[in-house]
Amino acid sequence: MKFKFEISIAEIKELGSGPFEFKISLDSMEQHLYDTDTFEIYGEGNFALGILTNDEVVGGFRIPMSTLHRVSSQWFPVTSPYTDLITIPENVTGPRVFLSIIEISVLSPVQERQEISEYSIESTPRVFSPNESKHEDFDPKDIYTAQLSQMLDLSRKEIIELRDLLEENKKAIDQIQENSKKREEELIKQIKATHELNSRIESENSKLQAENLRVQIDIQCIRTRLGTSIEETEKFRDLFKDSELKRKDLQNVLSNAHLKWQELKPNFNAVSALEKENQSLLQSLKNLAERLKDAERAKMVDESMNSIMSSLNATISQLKSEKEDLKKTNKQLSEENAYYKELLEKMRGSKSEHELSETSEASDHKALQNKTPIKEEKSDSIDKALKLYMKDAGMQNPFQKIGDGVYTYANKKVSMSLKNGVPVIRVGGGYMFIDEFLKIYNGQNKKKPEEEFNNRSLSLERKISKIGNDKFHEDDIENFRDIINTSPLSSPVKKKLSGPTFAYPTKSAILKKIPRLNNPNRELTPNSRRNSTPRQVFLP
């Protein structure tokens, strides 16, 4: 709702002796007052009053227009920045200003039309500074536009009401005319009927006189009704004439308003140009805010990159330390590689001597077997268990008994005993079931020992040669962990053979027998071999 007030600045306290200047504003409109302390304001929104000395704002306040309604005089606080008031303040102290407020009522539409037609619209007298002389034509624009819009709204409402009245009058007149026509036709029919009845029934005139009187009375009533309806129609015609006159007056008012609109149109064009400039400034502010946001984001990205770089530097330092450890390990492995190569050369040199000694022992053992007579002994518990086991397995007994618990298998001498009623073969420091023993040694007898040993020694040499390479890895040698944890090398137990065949150890077993020595320059001695405990012992 819009309000109109006449405000006078009566007194100012605790702000010095002056001189004072005043700046009044209503939402986006501003006005400076010089050499005067009384002004009028019209509109709605927030009213603000600022006090200036030497072109500097000392303080002020801001309050809604609706709050000033029905307030005659009041002290208001003066602060910098402005104080936003919602209600009328009480017991104001400190810098303050005393205002006298007079509310001016908005005139009715007819009175406004009369004032506009009789008097020219004048703005409240003000004294402007030289800087404001260029804008004095723009000051009363809000008052003019508000008055014109109010007049236009009222005139539109009256036109709509007049149109509704005209339509209702037309409808009523049409209905009255139709009713009168119908009644006239009915009366004519009745009169004709009465004349016919009078001509036909002259003899019954006495009876029909009463009816004739009644008919005349009805006709009189109808005439009176028609007279009243005619009077009403005349009244509606008068109202219609009055509405036509009012419509002409409203047309004159609209024509005057159009002329005033044409006068104010240049002012509105200037306002639109200022609004466009304001929009461009707002857009530039938005662009600056976006640039600030981008700068903050870039700063955050730099901080995150710095943290990432610090973590990467820590990782690099850790990797460097690990690299140094790997270099030390590589150096140690290269020293062990040299030792393993020397050991391999020694093993190759002793190969031929070992083969000669084994062949001689095999021939002596065969001769001893030929001299020793084989006696049939009574079957003991081991023989019974062995025969029962072979019978259940559905195969022939490949073992030949040469003593108590001693048997031969493919020129190999084995020791057999019972564990929980099951025959087992002693292998090294443990025992092995017969089916596992047959699977292992049947496969070994199918190969030639020399080719197998050569292949294993060559593969061992290839594996060991990789140790000195920079790209060495634990997976390149089978059972690398067993090599590290193996005790010093020990030779298998030598036993006499009855034939030329010899069961050589597998490749993984040879690798298991290679010791990991802290001092690679230490040589192996026979005493060290005797004192060592092998991880696995193979039967010859």
Tens digit of each residue's pLDDT (9 = 90 or more) over 217-254: 989 899 898 888 898 888 888 888 888 898 889 888 88
Amino acid making up residue 533: T
- Alpha carbon 151 to its chain centroid, in Å, reads 54
Q: φ, ψ for residue 3 (rounded to 5)?
A: -125, 155
Average pLDDT over residues 355-380: 58
Res. 64: pLDDT tops 80: yes
Cβ-in-10-Å burial (0-12, 13-18, 19+) of 409 comes to buried
| Residue 476 in this model has a pLDDT that exceeds 80 | no
Asked whether the predicted pLDDT for residue 62 surpasses 60, the reply is yes
Most confidently predicted of 117-131, 262-276, 326-340: 326-340
The confidence score (pLDDT) of residue 375 equals 41
Rounded CA gap, 32 and 43, in Å? 17
User: pLDDT band at residue 212, thresholds of 50, 70 and 90?
Assistant: confident
Position 507 confidence tier, pLDDT thresholds 50, 70, 90: very low
pLDDT above 90 as % of the chain: 2
Residue, of 460 and 155, whose pLDDT is higher: 155
DSSP-assigned letter for residue 191: H
Q: What is the pLDDT of residue 106?
A: 57
Asked if 513 and 534 count as a contact pair (C-beta separation under 8 A), the reply is yes
User: What is the pTM for the complete model shown?
Assistant: 0.24
- Candidates 53, 49, 103; CA nearest to 77 is 49
Confidence of residue 131 (pLDDT cuts 50, 70, 90): very low
Yes or no: say if 436 and 486 are a contact pair by the CB < 8 Å rule: no
pLDDT of residue 419: 85
What is the C-alpha separation between 438 and 398, in angstroms, rounded?
9
Contact assessment for residue 38 and residue 69, using Cβ atoms and an 8 Å cutoff = no
| pLDDT above 70: residue 426 | yes
pLDDT at 222: 92
Quick count: other Cβ atoms within 10 Å of Cβ 254? 15
3-state secondary structure of 290: helix
In percent, the amount of the chain with pLDDT more than 70 equals 69
153/360: higher pLDDT = 153
Contact in structure between 103 and 70 (CB atoms under 8 Å): yes
Quote the pLDDT of residue 353: 62
Going by their DSSP bridges, the two strands 46-53 and 56-64 should be labelled as antiparallel
Taking the chain, what is the end-to-end CA distance rounded to the nearest angstrom? 119
Rounded distance, CA 315 to CA 322, Å?
10
